[in-house]
Amino acid sequence: MSQTNNTALGVTLMITAVMIFAVQDAFSRYLASEYNVMMVVMIRYWFFAAFVIAIAKRQAGGVRAAAQTRQPFLQGFRGVLLALEIVVSVLAYTLLGLVETHAIFACYPLLVAALSGPVLGERVGWRRWAAIAVGFVGVMIILQPGVSVFDPLALIPLLAAAMFALYALLTRYAARQDSTATSFFWTGVSGAVVMTVVGLWFWEPLAPKDYGWMLMLCISGVTGHWLMIRCYEVAEVSAVQPFAYFHLVFAGIIGVSIFGETIATNVVLGAGVIVTAGLFTLWRERLQS
C-alpha cells in the first residue's frame, strides 16, 4: 500500500495503538505475576508470528518474498533482541509497576540519538547532545542514585530502553537493504523461535480463569501492531512519532487505577524532563530529514 499523507488519521491511529499497547502491558503485568515471564512472552510471540506470516501471505510474493534477505544474521539478531527486551520489560512491570517502568523507558529515543553515531555513522550535533544530557538528568531524577530509597531494580527498565534503542537502530540499518515487510517478518518469526526454545522449559498449565486474559494479551498485541502499521502507511513517521509518548500517559492511568500504583513527585518531574528532551530530539530529526 502506497503511503499517503493524512496526518490527522495517523495521529488518531498512533494514539489508539499506544493505548492498546498500554492495555497489553497491563495484561502482561498480571499474567507475569501469576506465571513465568518466559512462558507468557512465548505465547504472546506465537500469536505475533502467526500475525506477521498472515501479513506476509497478503503481500506480493508471499512468505518467500518476505523472508528473502541478504543479511539473515542481522535480521535474526534484531528479532531475538526485541524478544529479550520484551522479557526484560515485562519483568520490570512485575517488579516496579507500569508507571515507573514506562517513565524510565521513555528515554529510549534519546538513546537512539546517542547511539546513531557509532551504529549508523550519523552526525549528532551539539543540540541533540544537549537534549540527550537533559534527558539523562531526567532519568537520574527518577532513579535518585545516592539516596537511601534508591532501588537497583529501577535499572531494569533502563536496560530495556537500551535494548530497544539498539533494536531500533539495527532496524534502520537493516532497512538499507531490506523492505519493511521483510524486517517485520523476521522480527516476529525469529523472536517466536527463540522464545519457544527458551520458554518451553518454563511451561506451566494455565488456570481456566486466565485463558481469557492470555487471549486478550495476544489479541491486543496483534491489534496494536496492525494499527501501528496502518499509522505509518497513512502519515509520515516524523509527524506522528511524538504522540507515541501517550503510551506513558495511558500506562500511568492503568497503573494507578487498576494496580494501585502511586506516582511519586520525582517520577513525574523526571518523566517530564525526559519527554521534553525526547520531543526536542524528534523535532531536530524532522528538521534535518
With respect to residue 116, please indicate whether it lies within any of the assigned structural domains.
yes
pLDDT digits (tens, 9 = 90+) for 251-276: 999 999 999 988 888 888 888 888 88
Phi, psi of 259 (to 5 degrees): -100, 0
CA distance 261 to 25: 14
With respect to residue 2, please indicate whether it lies within any of the assigned structural domains.
no
Give this prediction's pTM. 0.87
Domain carrying residue 205: 7-288
C-alpha cell at 142: 527518577
With respect to residue 15, please indicate whether it lies within any of the assigned structural domains.
yes
With respect to residue 1, please indicate whether it lies within any of the assigned structural domains.
no
Q: What count of other Cβ atoms lies within 10 Å of the Cβ of residue 113?
A: 26
CA distance 137 to 106: 13
Question: Would the CA dihedral through 54, 58, 63, 66 be positive or negative?
Answer: negative
Of 47, 58, 2, the closest CA to residue 66 belongs to 58
pLDDT value, residue 125: 74
Element (H, E) at 108: helix 108-120
With respect to residue 249, please indicate whether it lies within any of the assigned structural domains.
yes
pLDDT digits (tens, 9 = 90+) for 189-230: 999 999 999 999 999 999 999 999 999 999 998 899 888 878
Total number of residues shown for the chain: 289
CA distance 243 to 26: 20
C-alpha cell at 55: 501479513
Asked if 124 and 117 count as a contact pair (C-beta separation under 8 A), the reply is: yes
Give the number of domains in the chain. 1
CA distance 83 to 89: 10
Of 21, 6, 61, the closest CA to residue 226 belongs to 21
pLDDT value, residue 149: 47
Q: What is the mean pLDDT of each run of 10 residues along the chain (289 residues)?
A: 68 91 95 96 95 89 90 94 95 92 86 79 74 79 59 85 91 87 92 96 94 95 87 75 85 92 84 82 67
- In angstroms, how far is the first alpha carbon of the chain from the final one? 22
pLDDT value, residue 22: 94
Q: What count of other Cβ atoms lies within 10 Å of the Cβ of residue 39?
A: 21
With respect to residue 63, please indicate whether it lies within any of the assigned structural domains.
yes
Task: Give the burial string for 260-278 (b: 16+ CB within 10 Å, else e).
Answer: ebeeeebbeebbebbbebb
CA distance 157 to 100: 8
pLDDT value, residue 287: 66
**DSSP codes, 130-180:** HHHHHHHHHHHHHH-TTSTT--GGGHHHHHHHHHHHHHHHHHHHHTTTS-H
With respect to residue 58, please indicate whether it lies within any of the assigned structural domains.
yes
With respect to residue 144, please indicate whether it lies within any of the assigned structural domains.
yes
